[in-house]
Structure 1
Amino acid sequence: MASTPSLTLLLALVLPLIPLAVAAPEKHLVTHLPGFDGALPSKHYAGYITVDESNGRRLFYYLVLSERDPAADPVVLWLNGGPGCSSFDGFVYENGPFNFERGSTPGGLPKLHLNPYSWSKVSSMIYLDSPAGVGMSYSLNKSDYTTGDLKTAADAHTFLLKWFELYPEFQSNPFYISGESYAGIYIPTLADEVVKGTQKALKPKINLKDVSAACHGTFWGKVNDVCQEKIDRVRWELKDLNTYNILAPCYHHPEVQETAFVNSSLPSSFRKLGETERPFPVRKRMAGLSWPLGLPVSSGHVTLWPELGGRSLPCTSDELATIWLDDEDVRAVIHAKPKSLIGSWELNTARIDYTHDTGSMVEYHKKFTATGYRVLIYSGDHDLCIPFTGTEAWVRSLGYRVVDSWRPWHFGGQVAGYTQGYDHNLTFLTIKGSGHTVPEYKPKESLAFYTHWLFGEKI
């Protein structure tokens, strides 16, 4: 049986046009950002929306308007996974409007440069910290930090309803939900809440028009005792292997390298995998963020990254985001609460106690695709956290007929990955040389397939 996938879903919703005045809240306007010189490339807004008045539960968002035509371009909600991962991960390191560079002095405020491959080039982006306790989102009642899939989806739905009340000018724009990793559970469950809300005639009404999925997935099958013994033997043999240092060196902690890369026999093409033009190197390099073997997502308590029993992540670094988001001047201009109230920003928090309580996402996806929604499922082909082979197997488990056989897709005259199309408007796509966080590893290619898919063009 296929287990619950961790995937990225782009969910397209179109809201009915309601004759309301433009009402973007000026108190949420971001006029400038510390570390960036010059005018912002488009209007930015940020702040809190309360999803539970009695408990003081508030979710933080950062909105980047499209640099092209915000009045007509799609509005896209971005969710990072974890669970417990802040969506500033996407903003700082992946598809946000800036590339971050180390400050002039150790620990100094990072420098921000415009990102030519930001997804805000073609869409307005909402980065949401969810659930409460993650990133800048918080609750005055700490019992809210015991949560799960259903509560997270309900809160995110409340957030959306209130957000569109706050920004009625976007109610006629196509609306998508996207994300990565465990957001593959956040997003289908949120979509289910949207559908139920529409059936209850909640306002503003959200009319589900289209579903697109960019999906990281896992596939776990039942095995017999003989097979399990062999799997356990493989795990034992690999227990001392640094999976973060297989195809490329550790940029951030070179002292932990097991072999000097200069003496490696790997071909030069392998040495360049994962390199970008950004001023700060890819944090996770080729291997991606490798989830420990033997820890698939299953019903019940979900092990968070900080709970992994002291396992280190030797080739990762989140210093730039932490320095920038813990700076009180930054928090003031983006309207986030100070550290004295909500604590230090964490990429992956240990504040929450999270339960997976929704089961498999297979039925959710069958429901979406059976009613005609488009789905795009993508995966980096060097992702060791959720390998693309597992994602591909999960897609096949849906049982849909192949209508566009396995073929390469191209960018800049080169093969950028492979894709296969299924009936019910379902597409699976890989990105060559990418780890877990695809827009971080392959920013140009990511913007290319994102743009093509967003506007219904063939990839």
Structure 2
Amino acid sequence: MKASLIFLSLLCLVGCVQCYGGRGYDPLGKLLKKRQTRKSAYHLAEDVSTEYSPVYLAPQDGLKEADKITMLPGQLNVSFDQYSGYVTVDPGAGRALFYYLTEAEDPSGKPLVLWLNGGPGCSSIGSGAMTELGPFRVNPDGKTLWYNKDAWNNVANILFLESPAGVGFSYSNRSSDYITGDKQTAADSYAFLVNWLERFPEYKSQDFYIAGESYAGHYVPQLADLILHELVFQIGNAYIDYIDRWMGTFDHFWTSALISDETHEGIVANCNFSTEGSVSQACEDYQDKAYVEKGGVYIYDIYAPLCGSSSSAPSQISNFDPCSDDYVFTYLNAPEVQKALHADRTGVPVQWEDCNDAINIDWQDQPDTVLPVINKLMASGIRVWIYSGDTDGIIHVTTTRHSMAKLGAPVKTPWYPWYSQGEVGGYIVGYQNVTFVTIRGAGHFVPSYQPERALTFFSSFIEGKLPPGQN
């Protein structure tokens, strides 16, 4: 494989998971809150690059043709191909991961991008494909689709993977597999890629990227570390460092005028997030006060309306419908949709969920920081982009800026505004082997809220250049 890039989109960090708005899920928030009380020392991501060998490899003859999607229910006619199905990663356990591929109109001339949603425990198809960067979004009727003109398969072939097993349509016949963590997720994703490329061998000679969001801030660097000599990557709104996330949270709340001066000062004076389990009672009290003061804003986009509220029409800032995840839930649970996607493996409809709360609660190994892994990838010559929507309230632009300083890279291209459709799309600063990009007016799910701006900066990344400044 000619591999030129890994694109890690922690848009939810961002990305992950559009599901939170209408159905009440907040997996990343739950995971972070749970970890505040865990009695363990701050620890680094381990080197996973040599731990999972040999990799299971099975014959894939004829499976590509069986996976081709004829037409999705309610879909408009398009001039690109789609595929979906299961790839076995452990035959002994009966563990298989589900994918959905949306090719570009000229697939042979475009790179392959693997997209991972985070959570952990949330679906890349329901979120990434159906509410963010995929070619189709679901109408309010839950039965028909509308075309997303700013889909990322305009410039690349996008491979959406539901990972780990137990997320979305992915499954295992061994129930203990649903208690998992970072290492197993990386190993299974790698096994998926090896087998998928046997099923689609034409992509072995094309450039390869990995993209993700939110908790994929862990998934992407660790998967990249398994294939270190093959890839480079980008990260956006990513959860990559425990300490920076908590320090950045309350700084961002304060600078966004969501909490009072007094509460912010109390947190600064009483909170030490450097060691898990060491948070004082005074610190907890001030944190609780902060969450009361900010009120019922949608934490993944602090300026967006809530689904079900009296103002639940699409946001005036982003024009994104806050109930989109409800429409996707209805659509992906329709028997005819599951049949078209080849997801009905037993011939009986399955219950699809956008996020698996049980997997999130039982998540095992999880380093506090993956910054050393990112530094390792940068030192190897891999090109890294880290991007952040500036209205995200869960993995804030402030958090990401704290982490950028820890990477210690010198500035090569000073901060400047970049443009999309004649307007400032955000801001950018180029460092040695790492670039930081903001997307103006975007929350945790950047392609959902600002699709044109997201496509502009993603296209620049694919082309190997910085987003355009003002002409």
Spell out the pairing of 1:285-324 with structure 2 (5 A cutoff).
318-324=325-331
Spell out the pairing of 1:38-437 with structure 2 (5 A cutoff).
38=77, 40-67=78-105, 69-88=106-125, 89-103=127-141, 109-195=142-228, 208-217=230-239, 220=243, 226-228=269-271, 229=282, 232-233=285-286, 235-239=288-292, 241-244=295-298, 248=303, 250=305, 252-255=307-310, 272-275=316-319, 281-283=320-322, 318-337=325-344, 343-352=350-359, 353-423=362-432, 425-437=433-445
Q: Secondary structure at the match of 1:364?
A: helix
Q: Structure 1 residues 320-329 or 228-237, which shifts more?
A: 228-237
Encode CA deviations 1:80-102: one digit per residue, 9 max, x unaligned: 00000100111000000113211
Q: Which residue of 1 aligns with 2:67?
A: 28
Q: Does the 8 Å contact 1:46/1:60 carry over to 2?
A: yes
Q: Secondary structure at the match of 1:420?
A: strand
Encode CA deviations 1:284-313: one digit per residue, 9 max, x unaligned: xxxxxxxxxxxxxxxxxxxxxxxxxxxxxx
Q: Secondary structure at the match of 1:427?
A: strand
Deviation at 1:416, TM superposition (A): 1.1
Q: Secondary structure at the match of 2:398?
A: helix
Q: State the alpha-carbon separation in 1 of the partners of residues 460 and 74 from structure 2.
A: 32
Q: State the alpha-carbon separation in 1 of the partners of residues 302 and 379 from structure 2.
A: 40
**1:225 to 1:327, Cα distance in 2 relative to 1, 3 A:** closer
Q: Secondary structure at the match of 2:211?
A: strand
Q: Which residue of 1 aligns with 2:449?
A: 441
Encode CA deviations 1:40-96: one digit per residue, 9 max, x unaligned: 3311111000001011000000011112x2112110000000000100111000000
TM-score by length of 2: 0.74
Q: Does the 8 Å contact 1:282/1:441 carry over to 2?
A: no
Deviation at 1:248, TM superposition (A): 4.6
Q: Does the 8 Å contact 1:215/1:376 carry over to 2?
A: no
Output the amino acid matched with 2:171: Y
Q: State the alpha-carbon separation in 2 of the partners of residues 146 and 184 from structure 1.
A: 20
Q: State the alpha-carbon separation in 2 of the partners of residues 408 and 376 from structure 1.
A: 16
**1:321 to 1:186, Cα distance in 2 relative to 1, 3 A:** same
Q: Secondary structure at the match of 1:452?
A: helix
Q: Does the 8 Å contact 2:298/2:306 carry over to 1?
A: no
Q: Secondary structure at the match of 1:405?
A: strand
Q: Which runs of 5+ in 1 are unaligned?
A: 10-20, 104-108, 196-206, 262-270, 276-280, 284-315
Bigger strand share: 1
Deviation at 1:24, TM superposition (A): 7.2
**1:427 to 1:8, Cα distance in 2 relative to 1, 3 A:** farther
Encode CA deviations 1:246-291: one digit per residue, 9 max, x unaligned: 9656353124x7xx99xxxxxxxxx73222xxxxx332xxxxxxxx
Output the amino acid matched with 1:242: G
Q: State the alpha-carbon separation in 1 of the partners of residues 454 and 112 from structure 2.
A: 17
Q: Secondary structure at the match of 1:171?
A: helix
Encode CA deviations 1:101-143: one digit per residue, 9 max, x unaligned: 112xxxxx43212211000011000000000000000011111
Deviation at 1:326, TM superposition (A): 0.4
Q: Does the 8 Å contact 2:212/2:235 carry over to 1?
A: no
Q: State the alpha-carbon separation in 1 of the partners of residues 445 and 417 from structure 2.
A: 21
Q: Percent identity?
A: 37
Q: Secondary structure at the match of 2:205?
A: coil
Q: Does the 8 Å contact 1:22/1:169 carry over to 2?
A: no
Deviation at 1:334, TM superposition (A): 0.8
Deviation at 1:231, TM superposition (A): 7.0
Encode CA deviations 1:410-444: one digit per residue, 9 max, x unaligned: 11221111111111x21001111110000000000
**1:125 to 1:28, Cα distance in 2 relative to 1, 3 A:** same
Bigger helix share: 2
Output the amino acid matched with 2:230: L
Deviation at 1:349, TM superposition (A): 1.0
Q: State the alpha-carbon separation in 2 of the partners of residues 188 and 435 from structure 1.
A: 22
Q: Does the 8 Å contact 1:8/1:178 carry over to 2?
A: no
Deviation at 1:167, TM superposition (A): 0.7
Output the amino acid matched with 2:236: A
Instruction: Report how many residues are paired.
Output: 376
Deviation at 1:234, TM superposition (A): 5.0
Q: Does the 8 Å contact 2:134/2:151 carry over to 1?
A: yes
**1:251 to 1:226, Cα distance in 2 relative to 1, 3 A:** closer
Q: Secondary structure at the match of 1:354?
A: coil
Q: Which runs of 5+ in 2 are unaligned?
A: 1-9, 16-59, 248-266, 272-281
Q: State the alpha-carbon separation in 1 of the partners of residues 461 and 268 from structure 2.
A: 43
Q: Which residue of 1 aligns with 2:255?
A: none
Q: State the alpha-carbon separation in 2 of the partners of residues 339 and 243 from structure 1.
A: 41
**1:24 to 1:446, Cα distance in 2 relative to 1, 3 A:** farther
